[in-house]
Structure 1
């Protein structure tokens, strides 16, 4: 029997590897391109679409004041000039960037471990529910994942594979790609932190000469110089971001969400998802331990992947401690390390089985199979939900605006609450006059609706026969319900015979001949002072079993005040009690502004069997956690 020469076998293996990789790329592209327009664009995508319609100067000024830098929007604007502004056209760049991560992951897996590990990494990237989800979103996250993965691949190639030998081409490419990542998303800085730690640790472990740091230092200097013109905007945005409530990040909860997102994406309910994620965490630990053992004296790849997974996540969480605005997609680039760890662990199990006895070989084969099949089974479950389960859909602005366009009369106004949603509203209903409440470009927790909107509504709705209200994130800007309070005084609420995922429509009939109320309907005024912090200024009873209490802060309030509302009969016997925040739950007293009027509405706390008669409503105010 003739044995093929080593060179021929190598060439055949290379060809087979490339053919398998092409098949993975085709699979990844198909999964990302299928049903691309099935879901509505949501708000963030509406902003992307809106920015493509601006001039280059206006786009740059917008992003200078926004939470994202401009590179993705520049590319999207160029793309849309050729491909149009349909939902699919807006999402195609994300499809392409996400598809390109598959061969890139395979190349990095091959460099870290082996050809087989590279293909396993490519398979996991191709099927990842997280990557498919963001491949079908007109935002910068797929592009960020690609750029940070490419940047990390170049770093590993230049610093580990090239070592101390001159590799200016790799380092220059690394600097350019890293700069592009920073201009795509600000949190790419935390990937740069991981790169710096990896370089310094390898330099220290291998005791390389100081001059070896010249290449990475020069690259980082180029990156810093390239970002210098945009640095003031980053620092300003960090100081003034008001798009989330002040508070403290719940780190444990954030870590659970990250683990769930990395493994099963956005299309699994948290209850079942967390149980499945526990298995992923165990297998991750097993793979890391196996790589440490299998690496021998060469453990650069373990250090590289662990830092890749941990450092950016830790950096983003540390930043979020100041303001608890956090979503797992902010740290999505680190998820790439997870699947490379799995690919390396599977390869290590498979190789070591050839060097041990039969019983242990069977165990290692089983471990390799579990580490591969468990993620694939989880992916299949989550991907099935993504394509078939309507519970995992983006906010349905398309459906809501279509319903509005079909049912709105000519003499009816439109109000957007929160007003910052206008880019996505205008995408689906261009040239439609609308009132923005509040009139903000970016969501702000500081701009909360109050009684002052009465005058605004009176002017905007004068002579109108009706009004439609589109609600999204209204719990942030109108937590107490001032808009409904005025509209229910002025007109009649009409039924809306449809519901839309995460977007609400309300419809009111107005009487154009009737004066529009500009003040709240306080039935009885009072000035009951509670320790100089706040006062109860009045109440009304819009329905027999509904009460409404009006409050005013007398000074800034640092405490979370609570109110105990007690229903007492003429003998002083208690027939019901409700303890709650004085206003809406999402508007605690720490957010009240001195002199501002606010209100809280609730149902009279009458126990079942409460007899008819005269009752007194007793109100007590206390600090949360300190009782009455």
Structure 2
């Protein structure tokens, strides 16, 4: 076995473990309502999918992709869910790539990898015929590409082209991606305003964002043309519900991070375990923020997780009975933060953490 293979073997074994967990009992559960809609659309024509989604609250790209997949492998619960298994496996690979850039090849990266492999939320939605397994892939890719662009001062074209492509893809997979796009644009703008005007090439970034905007106009026009139907879909059932109380909403989102099952919030044991997990998290966070060597990365990782998540929670102001899966892509931001809090890298080097300076300095977190 070559030295390169020895280095890659642990990662390959980790990917196989992730694949096995997501494949286990893949077709054990019967198809539920939303999965039935996905399979129906996946067997419709491309035009029918576009017309249906233009009057809906979800864009068409996942269903177009599902149609192509089902045409290759056949129609059924196992076949449709297997596409999400592959997407969930991509989550693991994307998280590893981003964590390796942020933390280096050491223990923190491997802990983050273990956390995402065993995360219930990644496994559960990696077995569902919906777009949600793909969204964390978009999340990690956009963060990784934005970090690379900031490090390179926006002067290389390939990362910008890749970023524009991933942004457009994400926006046509699920509208919730718009909050991440807003956050990342704010991150780059903050970098430029924080004294990098002479070194950071802002114009290529703006051109990339303009390209995404222009490429998204055709679908945006189709949605606006059917706007009344979209509003009716978004508001369906809202007259039967009251706005969710903030404490309940926060509890539901917190338990969803841990289990992927918001309904288990009604179980006393789950509430106690969630409270214990929160207390441990706060203790770890306080410990890292108290240490000068780990303060900046911990604070910035916290901002990278919480700010986009907080923006996405606005969906409950539109539909008070929204399911937490709508914000699933933002829950995975907790994984690198937890890995860093539990087991930070041995040596604190300035280079790996340059990505954390801007959000830290912009919000002026005190030493």
Scaled by the length of structure 2, what TM-score is found? Answer: 0.84
1:254-307 deviation per Cα after TM superposition (whole angstroms, max 9, x unaligned): 11111101112228832222222223323333444455456759936742x333
1:186 offset after TM fit, Å? 0.6
| Correspondent of 2:341 among 339, 345, 353 | 345
Alpha-carbon spacing, 1:206–1:285, altered in 2? closer, same or farther (3 Å)? farther
1:47-101 deviation per Cα after TM superposition (whole angstroms, max 9, x unaligned): 0000022111111101111111011101100010111111100111100000111
1:318 aligns with 2:292: no
Mapping 1:325-336, distance limit 5 Å: 325-336=321-332
1:480-516 deviation per Cα after TM superposition (whole angstroms, max 9, x unaligned): xxxxxxxxxxxxxxxxxxxxxxxxxxxxxxxxxxxxx
Q: Distance in 2 between matches of 1:16 and 1:215?
A: 40
Tell whether the 8 Å contact from 1:148 to 1:178 is kept in structure 2 after alignment. Answer: no
Unaligned runs of 5+ in 2: 349-367
Q: Distance in 2 between matches of 1:315 and 1:197?
A: 13
**Counterpart position of 2:238:** 245
| Correspondent of 1:276 among 264, 273, 276 | 273
Alpha-carbon spacing, 1:220–1:279, altered in 2? closer, same or farther (3 Å)? farther
Q: Distance in 1 between matches of 2:91 and 2:46?
A: 29
Moved more, 81-90 or 339-348: 339-348
Alpha-carbon spacing, 1:70–1:291, altered in 2? closer, same or farther (3 Å)? farther
Tell whether the 8 Å contact from 2:288 to 2:294 is kept in structure 1 after alignment. Answer: no
Tell whether the 8 Å contact from 1:68 to 1:185 is kept in structure 2 after alignment. Answer: yes
Larger-Rg structure: 1
**Counterpart position of 1:155:** 146
**Counterpart position of 2:78:** 88
Q: Distance in 2 between matches of 1:302 and 1:224?
A: 31
Q: Distance in 2 between matches of 1:267 and 1:186?
A: 21
Which structure carries more helix by proportion?
A: 2
Tell whether the 8 Å contact from 2:298 to 2:337 is kept in structure 1 after alignment. Answer: no
Tell whether the 8 Å contact from 1:251 to 1:317 is kept in structure 2 after alignment. Answer: no
Alpha-carbon spacing, 1:56–1:88, altered in 2? closer, same or farther (3 Å)? same
Moved more, 90-99 or 214-223: 214-223
1:136 offset after TM fit, Å? 0.7
Alpha-carbon spacing, 1:319–1:135, altered in 2? closer, same or farther (3 Å)? closer
1:313 offset after TM fit, Å? 2.4
Tell whether the 8 Å contact from 2:298 to 2:341 is kept in structure 1 after alignment. Answer: no
2:75 match: secondary structure: coil
Mapping 1:22-61, distance limit 5 Å: 22-61=12-51
1:254 aligns with 2:233: no
1:149 offset after TM fit, Å? 1.7
1:307 aligns with 2:296: no
2:201 match: secondary structure: helix
Alpha-carbon spacing, 1:66–1:42, altered in 2? closer, same or farther (3 Å)? same
**Counterpart position of 2:9:** 19
**Counterpart position of 1:195:** 184
For the aligned residues, what is the CA RMSD?
Answer: 2.6
**Counterpart position of 1:430:** none
Tell whether the 8 Å contact from 2:235 to 2:319 is kept in structure 1 after alignment. Answer: no
1:170 offset after TM fit, Å? 0.6
Alpha-carbon spacing, 1:267–1:88, altered in 2? closer, same or farther (3 Å)? farther
1:211 offset after TM fit, Å? 5.3
Mapping 1:379-528, distance limit 5 Å: none
1:317 offset after TM fit, Å? 2.4
Scaled by the length of structure 1, what TM-score is found? Answer: 0.50
Q: Distance in 2 between matches of 1:259 and 1:281?
A: 9
Q: Distance in 1 between matches of 2:285 and 2:6?
A: 29
Q: Distance in 2 between matches of 1:295 and 1:54?
A: 57
Q: Distance in 1 between matches of 2:212 and 2:286?
A: 35
Alpha-carbon spacing, 1:335–1:33, altered in 2? closer, same or farther (3 Å)? same
Q: Distance in 2 between matches of 1:34 and 1:333?
A: 23
Tell whether the 8 Å contact from 1:284 to 1:341 is kept in structure 2 after alignment. Answer: no
**Counterpart position of 1:128:** 119
Tell whether the 8 Å contact from 1:98 to 1:132 is kept in structure 2 after alignment. Answer: yes
| Correspondent of 1:264 among 259, 264, 272 | 259
**Larger RCO: Structure 1 or Structure 2 (Cα < 8 Å, ≥ 6 residues apart)?**
2
Q: Distance in 1 between matches of 2:294 and 2:22?
A: 40
Alpha-carbon spacing, 1:209–1:291, altered in 2? closer, same or farther (3 Å)? farther
Q: Distance in 2 between matches of 1:220 and 1:293?
A: 38
**Counterpart position of 2:163:** 174
Alpha-carbon spacing, 1:286–1:227, altered in 2? closer, same or farther (3 Å)? farther
**Counterpart position of 2:363:** none
1:340 offset after TM fit, Å? 0.4
1:117 aligns with 2:108: yes
1:50 match: secondary structure: helix
Q: Distance in 2 between matches of 1:258 and 1:80?
A: 33
Mapping 1:600-611, distance limit 5 Å: none
1:145 aligns with 2:136: yes
Alpha-carbon spacing, 1:306–1:228, altered in 2? closer, same or farther (3 Å)? farther
Tell whether the 8 Å contact from 1:145 to 1:332 is kept in structure 2 after alignment. Answer: yes
Which structure carries more strand by proportion?
A: 1
Aligned residues: 338
Q: Distance in 2 between matches of 1:190 and 1:129?
A: 24
Tell whether the 8 Å contact from 1:109 to 1:343 is kept in structure 2 after alignment. Answer: no
